[in-house]
Structure 1
């Protein structure tokens, strides 16, 4: 099995819990985060590849080494000598995160400049994954090229991950979100974002809108509140989950996506895959930053998240 994730990895700055007033540097980004947690859940013989563009500077090389060191394939990451990675700063208020970004000259904005490279990178993937941020950072011609490159991919998953500040207007964001959804079979939206952007009354309305756009599988995340899911033409009942107080909610939705997709790739039912997604997200919100170290995650070869004793 092979999963290919496409998007932007950035330099992450967050408060160092062990040194007040200092910042800790890491690397993260929504599509890399999902690839990271999928890699943690998938058996070793499965491949997880990341597709993006980075610079040729030392920080870009450190990013490349970091991704490769996690067992995520880097063969399809393009190098751009004229650009460097974007950067973001995490701010926390009672565990809920907000971000400040510096990404205008990010190399990842040019990841679709070579459409043939994209097509080759996606060739043979059992599942391709991208997000609304993947689309938002690209120029319009890059979005067109990227969606065209997905056309022959066996199965595509999409998290709209709506970020209005990345778009020229709400109308543009809505249009490209629905175009992205039309290129995918699996949609993993977050209800609070969708309600703000589309006026959805409840998660069921969000699911219905994406089913109408052509999705065959929709799971609407809702931060520990009641969710909605739809698969193969019918709604899927989901059991309630406990809402937890996060230490740091950064990356929780991406972690859910990674565990969910890994479970589905290996034949788990939709409700069981949702349970695995929740188990991973619950682990992540108790950890600072978007990415838990791989050694703190334990999963068996069926993509199930196993509990670990001690602190993570």
Structure 2
């Protein structure tokens, strides 16, 4: 069982029809979808192995709708219900790059989880967003201790440069030094901010450093470095969810006992399936 703890929110994905013109109308393609980094990872992983999502949504119709959509994708969904469900407006430019405006809502208030939600969990994945607020951070740490005590693995995604800056980069580095996750995922900007590329991870930790279409670098606790090329794709129209799909592919391969290089290749393959669709989806615009 793979469990993913964190956000389940609504994504409002905006593809402007041209350059954005301030203070007037801007025609656009707009799609609403289930989102949130943790929910995305769970959704992509559920097609490959038993997967559970742990999080919090509002006591509102949107929360009910998002829980149902995630469950329909095969995920075992365990959520707390209170407050309002979060939303993220994502503006995607012509090169596929995203600018995000999050209101995390109830996701930021994840409280202590029922112990039975972690029954059978052998790998727990926690995006950095889950550490951003005190309630969800305390819950994440409790879940990590429980899974570790049962002999399971723990992985973390650095998630966002803005989040890391707000959290404090040195504070984050110290937290990761204490937690020693089995895998720490980061993209190139996050890795630069945290100064990961030139470092040797703590014993037992792998850094998995993604860099878009450029090779992924894996660094283990001995300092050994491995680069895994990214196969070319026709077009990256929307990179939303690509990192989450990569994490899902990597984690499922890791849980199957495959090597880090094979896990990265599996991550690249799954990430490539979302690049032509709005948001964290494989459904292209018709």
Give the 3 Å change call, closer, same or farther, for CA 228–27 of structure 1 in structure 2.
Answer: same
User: What is the deviation of 1:242?
Assistant: 4.4
Q: Contact conserved, 2:206 with 2:218, CA < 8 A, in 1?
A: yes
Query: Which residue of the other structure, out of 58, 61, 64, is the alignment partner of 1:58?
Result: 61
Q: Give 1:97's aligned residue.
A: 98
Alignment of 1:211-222 (within 5 A): 211-212=201-202, 214-222=203-211
Q: Give 1:224's aligned residue.
A: 213
Relative to the length of structure 1, the TM-score reads 0.78
Query: Which residue of the other structure, out of 260, 277, 283, is the alignment partner of 2:267?
Result: 277
Q: Contact conserved, 1:147 with 1:180, CA < 8 A, in 2?
A: no
Are residues 1:191 and 2:188 paired? yes
Give CA-to-partner distance per residue, 1:161-190, whole Å, 9 cap, x none. 1342x47x5563541354146322211111
Give the 3 Å change call, closer, same or farther, for CA 173–204 of structure 1 in structure 2.
Answer: closer
User: What is the deviation of 1:36?
Assistant: 1.3
CA RMSD of aligned residues (A): 2.6
Relative to the length of structure 2, the TM-score reads 0.84
Query: Which residue of the other structure, out of 145, 154, 166, is the alignment partner of 1:151?
Result: 145
Alignment of 1:136-215 (within 5 A): 136=132, 138-139=133-134, 142-153=136-147, 154-164=152-162, 166=163, 170=166, 172-176=168-172, 178-180=174-176, 182-183=178-179, 184-195=181-192, 197-198=193-194, 200=195, 204-205=197-198, 208=199, 211-212=201-202, 214-215=203-204
Looking at structure 1, the residues matched to 153 and 220 of structure 2 have their Cα atoms a distance apart, in angstroms, of: 14
Q: Give 1:290's aligned residue.
A: 280
Looking at structure 1, the residues matched to 167 and 129 of structure 2 have their Cα atoms a distance apart, in angstroms, of: 16
User: What is the deviation of 1:276?
Assistant: 1.1
Q: Contact conserved, 1:3 with 1:49, CA < 8 A, in 2?
A: yes
> Tell me, which stretches of 5 or more residues in structure 1 are unaligned?
297-310
Q: Contact conserved, 1:90 with 1:100, CA < 8 A, in 2?
A: yes
Looking at structure 2, the residues matched to 239 and 52 of structure 1 have their Cα atoms a distance apart, in angstroms, of: 32
Looking at structure 2, the residues matched to 25 and 84 of structure 1 have their Cα atoms a distance apart, in angstroms, of: 17
DSSP 3-state at the match of 1:89: strand
DSSP 3-state at the match of 2:266: helix
> Tell me, which stretches of 5 or more residues in structure 2 are unaligned?
18-26
Query: Which residue of the other structure, out of 35, 39, 46, is the alignment partner of 1:32?
Result: 39
Give the 3 Å change call, closer, same or farther, for CA 276–142 of structure 1 in structure 2.
Answer: closer
Looking at structure 1, the residues matched to 130 and 173 of structure 2 have their Cα atoms a distance apart, in angstroms, of: 11
